[in-house]
Structure 1
């Protein structure tokens, strides 16, 4: 009986593991993109077989494959550019077929003209598609029929690709971007803890140099988080399921900017500790009491970095308030430890002033990280970024801005505004 129960428990655990893995795969951008693209391409081919005069209308699935993206915003923009590129190539091919036909020199002129027109119509990455469409249409005998068939297949692929994203709404990738930001904060925390432990004792130059290399590798992590954040920003645009998409984008973007500044300062801090290790070898970096204060301060700063990341990626207002309170308390504690460390460093410099520049640099760099994490500084940064984004939207779309104002302002209030100038 026990063996049966054990076997059932193992099976249940295997099913739970498989279910968790399946949920993880569903959230993977590569899996979502592959399934969505394959389905859209297949549907586009089935529709094109019935509507297109061509025996093998492969342009439709090719267009759907290129149009369908992970986010709705990318799908819309890609579909428009794709259709424009094909139409431009078809028009150029029709003109060349009427005037000169297909020869080696007309093919060269056709390619040059297509690439030039592609840049003029601003189809971005689909500039080669203009030349490809023109060559395929010019190389057949019945130019007119093939040209319109290619246009029809392109429209079918674009419509099917757009319909797939409208019917099966793409996910909002804010959660994935938030996880990337929190992972980056945890890596920063681990590095700060290791630096603090080594600063409290006798640190070999090789260890300090290794910490410097780790701080430099954080730049690659910033690039990966930035890519995830760009995908999240695209998923928030033109998404009917999202309210206050601009606010979400600004909160995440400013949070990543702050962490990026902290990583830069952390790299400078690691360089200062490395120079201090070279200058004081084989002695400890600091005296015993001062080293303990440095370790405590870096530990408190590490906790504040993680709390800041949690605050940035938290949506619920209650959780955000608790995260902000925790961050404020940790920053207050770290500021007190910083003041204590400043006094200890002053006493140490008065006794031995050989490395006073490096001691002052360590204190200054930690202070910069605390200033970047400060809640008031973040509030000002958010307001400035929101004002800038709102101003750019008003300048880019003045008519839409005026329409929104009219729709959001109540009728009675509009009547009062209209009466005031008359009075």
Structure 2
């Protein structure tokens, strides 16, 4: 009997993907803007309006707002340039070159962003018609229609909040890091060939690619929280996820250094065990607890339910405490081993320091302090940037962000 769950599962997953959502929303906005432009514009086929809506509508309301502003700036600047050149010189080969150069330069000053080429395109399209002034203002009108329709579309039909995909990406990254830590812990016991140690090092280096993807997903989630009426505490979500990813990124870098240290040690001990059996057992315990701590840390920063967050925090605290105990035992045994045989003692010290760094990055108390500092910094920046808006928010919400800091402290 054929399995029908896979196509259904695939359809549901695609329905949640940003690319699918953007395609549907952009199509609807483009069609609506074309219908509106047919009623307001003198052009028989006002395709500039749907084109603008297609470019303006993004997967987040914040991106739509910023994109529409840059798009309108680029078209208006291009139209004004075309009108000026049509009055003075008309269209020749050398005036075309001057128009393109002037458009690309002016586009930087009007903050058109990625739409800088659109300044030159608008100028050339307007200058190439016989009725320059009439066509120019029709193009501006169509652009405004497309931008306004696209913006209103996202205001009335608010884009989804993309926190869940970012959370899933963070959890996937933590699982990969946890699995790598488990494998590294398995390899410290017994003899480890250089090839196996080098393979773990290459796997640790590939984590950089995963971090780049997670960062892109998180930036999209952060944009979806800005100006979104569905979200009451967007700043809190952004800070929690961003600081969490920063900690995981540092842990991934340290993990790569650990793999480098073990690879160097494997090169020096090709025909023997990396560590004595008692030391290897203690180190294996450390890596096992680190693996569980990394995964618990990701659950803690991505969960939306208080009960689940408390459970993840308790599990993280237990794993960190057990990891520190195992680390101390391994340090004591390594010291005795180095005193008897001081070969590659510097690699032993480096390995212990790298373990300490991961334990420190995942520490719950330090994370609470970091969150409070980041919330204070963000609040100060927002207050300095928009003082009037800050006063209104304080009157509406009362005490600002103070309760958030106490909330994080009380969770300890």
Report the TM-score range of the alignment, normalised by the length of the smaller protein.
over 0.9
- Counterparts in 2 of 1:108-127, with a 5 A limit? 108-127=97-116
Other-structure match for 2:196 = 207
Other-structure match for 2:169 = 180
Q: Among 255, 273, 277, which residue is 2:244 paired with?
A: 255
> What is the CA-CA distance between 1:43 and the residue it aligns to?
2.2
Task: Report the secondary structure of 1:399's partner residue.
Answer: helix
> What is the CA-CA distance between 1:409 and the residue it aligns to?
5.0
> What is the CA-CA distance between 1:50 and the residue it aligns to?
3.0
Q: CA RMSD in A?
A: 1.4
Deviations 1:366-391 (A, max 9, x none): 11100111001101111111111111
Residue 164 (1) aligns with residue 140 (2):
no
TM-score, length-normalised on structure 1?
Answer: 0.91
Task: Report the secondary structure of 2:52's partner residue.
Answer: helix
Whole-angstrom distance in 2 between the partners of 1:105 and 1:358? 67
Task: Report the secondary structure of 2:321's partner residue.
Answer: helix
Other-structure match for 1:52 = 41
Other-structure match for 2:143 = 154
Aligned length: 399
Residue 88 (1) aligns with residue 82 (2):
no
Other-structure match for 1:391 = 380
> What is the CA-CA distance between 1:408 and the residue it aligns to?
4.3
- Counterparts in 2 of 1:69-108, with a 5 A limit? 69-108=58-97
Deviations 1:46-73 (A, max 9, x none): 3223322112211111101100101010
Other-structure match for 1:333 = 322
Residue 318 (1) aligns with residue 312 (2):
no
Residue 376 (1) aligns with residue 360 (2):
no
Q: Among 338, 355, 364, which residue is 1:366 paired with?
A: 355
Deviations 1:221-274 (A, max 9, x none): 110000000000000000000011000000000000000000111011001100
Whole-angstrom distance in 1 between the partners of 2:372 and 2:60? 27
Other-structure match for 1:345 = 334
TM-score, length-normalised on structure 2?
Answer: 0.94
Do the aligned partners of residues 409 and 266 (structure 1) sit closer, same or farther apart at CA in structure 2, a change above 3 Å counting?
A: closer
Other-structure match for 1:416 = none
Whole-angstrom distance in 1 between the partners of 2:51 and 2:32? 11
Unaligned runs of 5+ in 1: 1-6, 411-423
- Counterparts in 2 of 1:279-298, with a 5 A limit? 279-298=268-287
> What is the CA-CA distance between 1:98 and the residue it aligns to?
1.6
- Counterparts in 2 of 1:182-261, with a 5 A limit? 182-261=171-250
Q: Among 122, 134, 139, which residue is 2:128 paired with?
A: 139
Whole-angstrom distance in 2 between the partners of 1:280 and 1:295? 18
Do the aligned partners of residues 199 and 395 (structure 1) sit closer, same or farther apart at CA in structure 2, a change above 3 Å counting?
A: same
Task: Report the secondary structure of 1:107's partner residue.
Answer: helix
Residue 43 (1) aligns with residue 36 (2):
no
Whole-angstrom distance in 2 between the partners of 1:224 and 1:299? 26
> What is the CA-CA distance between 1:167 and the residue it aligns to?
2.8
> What is the CA-CA distance between 1:81 and the residue it aligns to?
0.9
Whole-angstrom distance in 1 between the partners of 2:303 and 2:170? 11
> What is the CA-CA distance between 1:302 and the residue it aligns to?
0.3
